[in-house]
Structure 1
Amino acid sequence: MNPTAFLTELDRAVRQLVATVQTELEPLAPAQLNQQPAPNAWSALECLEHLNRYSRYYNPRFAQALARPDTSTNGDVRYSWAGRKFLDMMAPTNTRKVKTFNYMNPGGSQLGREVVAEFCAHQQQLLALLAQARRADLNRKAVPVEFLRLLKMRLGETFELQVLHEQRHVQQALRAVGGAPASVAAASVPDGAAA
C-alpha cells in the first residue's frame, strides 16, 4: 500500500477509536467502567490501562524513530515475517486470546476516569506521530519490540500493530460494559494489510 493511503487509514482508525471511547465509555459511571464482565476478565478501564501501558512504551519509540533522518525514499509499505505474525495475532478479527506479560496486565485494579483521559491523550500523541511519519521511511527497521528489545520492527508495521492492538482492546472494553457497536467492529486499518 502506498504510504500516504496507509497513514490516512491509520489516522482515520485512531480518530474513530477516540470518538468511540469519548461517546461510549467516557460518559459511564466509574463503577460501570470498573465492572468485570466475568471472573478474571478485564473491566473497560483495565482494557484502556493496558493500552496506556503500551502507549507509554511505543509513543516515545515512535518519536525517537521519527527524529532520526531518513536516507532512503519511501516506497510502498512492506512487512517483515515477524511483523505479519504480530499483526495477525493482534487483529481485532482474531478471536484467540493472547496472554499478556504480568507488567502489562492491569487485572484486579480499581481505576478512575484518569485512565480514559490518559488514553485520549496518548491517541492525540499518536495522531501527531502519524502526521510526522508522512516524511519518514515507513520500511526502516527502527522500533524495538516492547517484550524483545533486540528485535526491531519496521516503523509502518509497528504503527499498524499499535492501532490494531488498540482496536482489539477497545472492542473488549465495549463488550465489558455491554456490547460493541458495529462502527468499531467495522473500523479496520489498511485493507488486507494484516491478512
Structure 2
Amino acid sequence: MKNMNRLEQITQINKGLTETVANEFPKMDLNSLNFKPGPESWSILECLEHLNRYSRYYNPALAKAIAKNADGTFTGSINYSWLGKKSLDIVRLQNMKKHKTVKHMNPNNSQLGRTTVDEFLKHQEELQQLLQNAKGSNLNKKVIPVEFFKLLKLRIGETLEFMVAHQERHVQQALRVKQQLAQQVAA
C-alpha cells in the first residue's frame, strides 16, 4: 500500500471490512449473533448497531459535504486538525484502551435482529461510494459537524478515515466475540 494515496488505502481497508462482515456474520444464528461475553460487553450485533448509528449520521453528512466541495482540488493527501488527530487516535486498532461512547450511540442491551447486519452492509456500500466520490473533492475542507457537538467540524478526509478506522476497531471487536463464543461452545 506504500504507493497508494491515503484515500486509496482507506478505500481498500473499507472493502476488506465489508468482505469480512459479509463472510463472517450472516450465516450465524440469531442467538450466536446476540451472544455477550459479559453483561457490559457488546454482542456482534451490538458492535454493528453502534457502527450503524454512526453511519446514519455521518454518511449523509459526508455525502452533502463531498457534493458541495467537488471542485476538482483533490490531492490524495489528508491534512489533520487537532480534533481529527484526537478522534483517530481514540478509534485506531493500536489503541487498546476502552472508551465510553455517548449514551445514544451505545447499543448495550438492545433487541437486535439480522437486519442489523444487512443495514451495516448497506451503509458500507454507501461509504464505498462516498470514498469514490471523494476523489473529486477537497479532502481538507473542514465542513463535517461532529455528531455529539455540532459546533466542532472535521475535514472531509479525516472524517472518512475516522469512519473506516472506527469500523475496523468494532469489526475486530465483533470477531473477538465470535471467537469467545466458539471457545465457550468448545469447552
Task: Look up the equivalent residue of 2:64 and give its one-letter code.
Answer: Q
Letter in 2 for 1:65: A
For residues 15-164 of structure 1, what are the structure 2 equivalents within 5 Å?
Answer: 15-70=15-70, 73-75=73-75, 76-164=77-165
State the alpha-carbon separation in 1 of the partners of residues 34 and 132 from structure 2: 34
Whether the 8 Å CA contact 2:69–2:141 is kept in 1: the answer is no
CA contact (8 A) 2:78 2:140 kept: yes
Q: How well do the aligned residues superpose, as a CA RMSD in angstroms?
A: 1.6
- Detail structure 1 runs of 4+ shifted over 6 Å in the superposition: none
Counterpart-to-counterpart distance in 2, 1:17 and 1:47: 13
State the SS of the aligned residue for 1:150. Answer: strand
Cα deviation digits, residues 60-92 of structure 1 (max 9, x gap)? 000110121455833432111111111111101
Q: Residue 178 of structure 1: SS of its match in structure 2?
A: helix
Q: Which amino acid aligns with 1:169?
A: H
Q: Aligned equivalents of 1:32 and 1:109: distance in 2?
A: 15
TM-score, normalised by the number of residues in structure 1 = 0.86
Gaps of 5+ in 2: 181-187
DSSP 3-state at the match of 2:87? helix
- Give the superposition deviation at 1:5: 1.7
Deviations 1:17-45 (A, max 9, x none): 11111111111111001010112100000
What runs of 5+ residues in structure 1 fail to find an aligned partner?
Answer: 180-195
**Aligned-residue offset at 1:110:** 2.3
Kept after mapping to 1: 8 A contact 2:45/2:116: yes
TM-score, normalised relative to structure 2: 0.90
Matches within 5 A, 1:4-23: 5-23=5-23
Distance 1:62 1:29 in 2: 34
8 Å Cα contact 2:71/2:136 also seen in 1 = no
